[in-house]
Amino acid sequence: MPRWQHQDVRISIRLDDRLLREAKLSAARAGRSLNEFIEDAVRSAVLDDRQAARDAPIIPVFRGGRGLHPEVDLESNATLLEIMGDDQR
């Protein structure tokens, strides 16, 4: 089957009774089936996760070098702030 073709799959899920009632009401208000409503909710959650992954900041990684600068004391916040030029407290 080509990648662009989608096949519907039947699954069983457990939902809290109140959540199911709310989902049914929301689907009915929107004039959609419960299946369409749940499918859209899952699709939205997946897209939100993808967007969050794209928006995550890139954290620089130090690779190599000769270790810590001789004046750096990782156990002293005051020294670290002073070296970083942020010694205002």
23-73 pLDDT, tens digit each: 999 999 999 999 999 999 999 999 888 888 888 888 777 777 777 777 778
Domain with 44, as residue range(s), is: 15-57
Residues 18-22, mean pLDDT to the nearest whole number:
97
pLDDT confidence of residue 48: 87
Look at residue 44 and tell me if it is in a domain: yes
82 within a domain of the structure (yes/no): no
Residue 65 lies in a domain: no
CB-based burial label for 60 (10 Å; 0-12, 13-18, 19+): exposed
The H helix count followed by the E strand count for the chain is: 3, 0
pTM higher than 0.75 for the full model?
Answer: no
Domain count, the chain: 1
Residue 63 placed within a domain:
no
Q: What does the pLDDT read at residue 4? A: 63
- Domain contains 41: yes
- Assigned domain for 32 exists: yes
Query: What is the model's pLDDT at position 61?
Result: 76
For residue 23, is it within any domain?
Answer: yes
